[in-house]
Amino acid sequence: MHTRCALVGMPGSGKSTVGRQLARRLEVPFLDLDHRLEQVLGTSIRAYFEQHGEDSFRERESALLAEVAAQPGDMVLSTGGGVVLRPANRAALRDFGHVLYLRATPDEIFKRVRHDKARPLLQVANPLERLRELHAQRDPLYREAAHFTIETGRPTVSTLVSMIVMQLEMAA
């Protein structure tokens, strides 16, 4: 099965974890866009945000996404939570391959990431409220970009991977 798919969703929705397992199951390369960005930037995303601001970060993110999307071959791509904010990125993702929205509620995400200090957008007085705001803003954009929405609330990672594989097989 020829497979090019990208995972989108809120920070903490499981894109990297599920993406790694999905790529392993499909026997295709896995690329985490945030990790690649940190390599390119030579610093953490959080540090880059603090030094250069979100606009500069989004520019660099868009350029890297366009570069990755232009590469041929099978791949599972995990994206950053804010990649869908730019219309050009949503279009690039849809052109790249199947886009899967890993959907989780702000409360579920908060339980997963409340102790994670590496997420720049959550370093605020009330991270749960911030997650709710981000979700309200981004959920329609994830839905616009995605071919499929996968609810990540209860299932284990291996169950989610199996659900995604079934979606991809039916789409093929």
> According to the annotation, is 86 in a ligand binding site?
no
Distance in angstroms (rounded) separating the CA atoms of residues 62 and 147:
20
Rg (CA), the chain: 15
Q: For a pLDDT cut of 70, what percent of the chain falls above it? A: 98
> According to the annotation, is 138 in a ligand binding site?
yes
> According to the annotation, is 80 in a ligand binding site?
no
Interval 80-109 mean pLDDT: 95
> According to the annotation, is 62 in a ligand binding site?
no
pTM summary value: 0.93
What type of residue is 138? R
> According to the annotation, is 17 in a ligand binding site?
yes
Interval 156-167 mean pLDDT: 92
More confident call, 83 vs 50: 83
Per-residue confidence (pLDDT) for residue 113, from 0 to 100: 81
Q: For a pLDDT cut of 90, what percent of the chain falls above it? A: 76
Vertex 120 angle, CA 37 and 9, to 5°:
70
Average pLDDT, the chain: 92
Q: Would you say residue 69 has pLDDT above 70?
A: yes
Question: Is residue 151 within a helix (H) or strand (E), and if so which, with residue range?
Answer: strand 148-151
Token couple for 58 = 């989004």
> According to the annotation, is 12 in a ligand binding site?
yes
> According to the annotation, is 15 in a ligand binding site?
yes
Per-residue confidence (pLDDT) for residue 120, from 0 to 100: 66
At 9-39, the pLDDT tens digits run 998 899 999 999 999 999 999 999 999 999 9
> According to the annotation, is 73 in a ligand binding site?
no
Question: According to CATH, what is the number of the domain 4-171?
Answer: 3.40.50.300
At 111-143, the pLDDT tens digits run 888 777 777 667 788 888 999 999 999 999 999
> According to the annotation, is 81 in a ligand binding site?
yes
> According to the annotation, is 119 in a ligand binding site?
yes
- Reported as a pLDDT band with limits 50, 70 and 90, residue 159 is very high
Domain boundaries, the chain: 4-171
Q: Would you say residue 154 has pLDDT above 80?
A: no
